[in-house]
Amino acid sequence: MVVIRETAISQLRRGALEFCVLALLSDGERYSFEIVTALGERDGLVTSEGTLYPLLSRLRKEGSVETTWRESVAGPPRRYYRLTPTGRALLQAFASEWVRFRDSVDTLLATGAQK
């Protein structure tokens, strides 16, 4: 029971997570550490922050984000991420699909047992 739940949830989480990254960038650029900790602070979204770095690398390769390295005042250089037009389009498409998906699941979860 617990095992089934964890697999399903972790798959859902992985699928939605990349759009959470895109959403986080929708109002401007952020550097990797900011993105990772911002998502890590959300309840139930990320189990290990480190796994977000490979995700960021994939988004880069898929062309939904682009990056620039910049020196920081103190500490290591920072890699800044921003949305590409492709990324923005993907985010918009996901956002409307997600609302339909979520509403259907919510409806079924609330009323499914009675109908």
One residue of 3, 4, 5, 48 binding another protein per CB under 8 A: 48
DSSP per-residue letters across 33-63 = HHHHHHHHTSTTT-S-GGGHHHHHHHHHHHT
Which positions ≥6 away from 7 have C-beta within 8 Å?
A: none
Q: Taking CB under 8 A as the rule, does residue 53 contact another protein? A: yes
Q: Given the rule CB under 8 A, which of 21-29, 71-79, 96-104, 106-114 is the region that contacts another protein?
A: 71-79
One residue of 23, 24, 40, 66 binding another protein per CB under 8 A: 40
Q: Taking CB under 8 A as the rule, does residue 42 contact another protein? A: no
Bridge partners for 79 per DSSP = 69
Q: Taking CB under 8 A as the rule, does residue 75 contact another protein? A: yes
Q: Taking CB under 8 A as the rule, does residue 50 contact another protein? A: yes
Q: Taking CB under 8 A as the rule, does residue 71 contact another protein? A: no
Measured distance CA(64)–CA(83) in Å, rounded: 6
Measured distance CA(81)–CA(69) in Å, rounded: 9
The contact set with another protein (CB under 8 A) reads 32-33, 36-37, 40, 47-51, 53-58, 61-62, 75-79
